[in-house]
């Protein structure tokens, strides 16, 4: 049984997804879109009633291994929509949802078994295996290799040997590219800092339609605050955080997905990555309110 009163291992998360697909076969399906370096499944859960007029939304978590609140929040969303689909709003029902809760399963398991603060994936970067792991959020193929992305395999922000050199980032991008689904939004959950970030991340410039992303981001932050009390700052990630190229959000935006956000969940630094499990439900709940605001916007367009 899945709860949000503990952080779960990968096996539990995948078991939960399979259980939902089995229990609600008319609206939920699970698909393995590829394998990690250590041969773990990259599992996507889709929720949809199959209407052709639906809007499509892609949500992922766990790009960075140690950010445990991220997969916990994404699975909370899944559970909320799956268990209450029949009584959910038209916005939720008129949506094709795609969830990839753990983009980096090898890293995630490594943080449970060996090193709680591991960030990258686990693929060795050279034959000598001096340093392992690529930062998957520096490995995507838009403006790959620019600012804030290291060429040193021992760095925490190692960009990889080439764009999409890693099976995890490649599988995600290939799925979005080849699924022929026209995604209206791409949301990637990280921690920590409480930010709603939009492109560009690669440098301190913004896309032509940034004002719309900014306005929707601010409305989401407002909903988060009034639901759970947390304050989220909204802005372009290069400006609010730092320039960092090769991020999944930039790549999604470059593919024409209009609403592309990186959401840095709680907290603001007291516990950081080691967020006590008592935070999971409040964080996920207030972020569900934020997500619903974005959804409403998408359905107005
Ligand atoms: O640096 C990152 O990858 C993200 N922050 S984290 O603390 N979770 O590592 C921010 C990514 C923002 N987006 C881009 N720079 N494209
Ligand atoms: Zn992160």
Cβ(243) – ligand 1 distance below 6 Å: no
- Residue pair 155/137 in contact (Cβ under 8 Å)? The answer is no
**Average pLDDT, whole number, for the chain?**
97
Q: Is the pLDDT of residue 129 over 80?
A: no
For residue 120, the CA-to-ligand 2 centroid distance in Å is 9
Report yes or no: 197 and 236 within 8 Å, Cβ to Cβ: yes
**Catalytic residue at 11?**
no
CA of 1 to the centre of ligand 1 (A): 32
Q: Which of 67, 168, 264, 286 is catalytic?
A: 264
Render pLDDT for 159-192 as a digit per residue (tens, 0 to 9).
Answer: 999 999 999 999 999 999 999 899 999 999 999 9
Residue at 3 is within a domain? no
| Best CA proximity match to 123, nearest among 114, 110, 142 | 110
Interface ipTM:
0.99
Residue 2 counted as domain residue: no
Residue 1: per-residue pLDDT? 76
Residue 4 counted as domain residue = no
> Which pLDDT value is given to residue 210?
98
Structural domain boundaries enclosing 246: 10-300
pLDDT at 128 over 80: no
- In the chain, % of residues over pLDDT 70: 99
Distance 245 CA to ligand 1 centre (A): 9
Return the bridge partners of 56, or none: 96, 183
Among all ligands shown, which has an atom nearest to the Cα of 104?
Answer: 2
Q: What is the DSSP string of 274-295?
A: S--GGGHHHHHHHHHHHHHHHH
Stretch 226-240: mean pLDDT, rounded? 98
pLDDT above 80: residue 235 = yes
- Residue 186 falls inside a structural domain: yes
Number of domains comprising the chain: 1
pLDDT value at residue 104 = 99
Distance CA 157, CA 147 (A): 11
Ligand 1 lined by 262 (C-beta under 6 Å): yes
Percent of the chain whose predicted confidence (pLDDT) is above 90 = 97
At 130 the pLDDT is 80
**CATH no. for residue 165?**
3.40.630.10
Q: Is residue 182 part of a domain?
A: yes
Q: How far is the CA of 261 from the centre of ligand 2 (A)?
A: 12
The answer to whether 224 touches 266, Cβ cutoff 8 Å, is no
Does the beta carbon of 72 lie inside 6 Å of ligand 1?
no
pLDDT of residue 125: 81
Alpha carbons within 13 A on the beta-carbon side of 9: 7
Predicted structure pTM score:
0.98
Q: Which ligand 1 atom lies nearest to the CA of residue 247?
A: 16
Give pLDDT tens digits for 35-93: 999 999 999 999 999 999 999 999 999 999 999 999 999 999 999 999 999 999 999 99
- The mean per-residue pLDDT over the stretch 241-267 comes to 98
**CB of 290 sitting under 6 A from ligand 1:** no
Residue 215 lies in a domain: yes
Write down the pLDDT at residue 127. 67
- 197 pocket-lining for ligand 1 (C-beta < 6 Å): yes
């Amino acid at each position: 049984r899945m709860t949000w009163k503990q952080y779960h291992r990968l096996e539990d998360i995948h078991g939960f997804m399979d259980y939902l697909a089995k229990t609600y076969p008319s609206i939920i399906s699970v698909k393995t879109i590829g394998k990690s370096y250590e041969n773990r499944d990259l599992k996507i859960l889709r929720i949809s009633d199959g209407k052709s007029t639906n809007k499509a939304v892609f949500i992922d978590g766990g790009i960075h291994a140690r950010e445990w609140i991220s997969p916990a929040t994404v699975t909370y969303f899944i559970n909320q929509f799956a268990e209450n689909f029949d009584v959910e709003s038209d916005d939720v029902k008129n949506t094709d949802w795609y969830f990839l809760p753990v983009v980096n399963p090898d890293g995630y398991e490594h943080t449970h078994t060996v090193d709680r603060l591991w960030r990258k994936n686990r693929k060795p970067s050279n034959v000598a295996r001096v340093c392992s792991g690529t930062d998957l959020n520096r490995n995507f193929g838009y403006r790959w290799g620019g600012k804030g992305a290291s060429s040193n395999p021992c760095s925490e922000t190692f960009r990889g040997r080439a764009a999409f050199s890693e099976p995890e980032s490649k599988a995600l991008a290939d799925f979005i590219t080849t699924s022929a689904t026209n995604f209206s939004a791409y949301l990637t959950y990280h921690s920590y800092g409480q930010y709603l970030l939009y492109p560009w991340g690669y440098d301190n410039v913004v896309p032509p339609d940034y004002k719309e992303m900014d306005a929707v981001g601010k409305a989401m932050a407002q909903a988060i605050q009034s639901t759970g009390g947390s304050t989220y700052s909204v802005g372009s990630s290069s400006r609010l955080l730092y320039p960092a190229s090769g991020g999944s959000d930039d790549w999604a935006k470059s593919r024409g997905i209009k609403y592309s956000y990186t959401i840095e969940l709680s907290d603001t630094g007291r516990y950081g990555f080691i967020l006590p499990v008592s935070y999971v439900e409040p964080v996920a709940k207030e972020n569900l309110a934020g997500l619903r605001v974005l959804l409403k916007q998408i359905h107005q367009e």
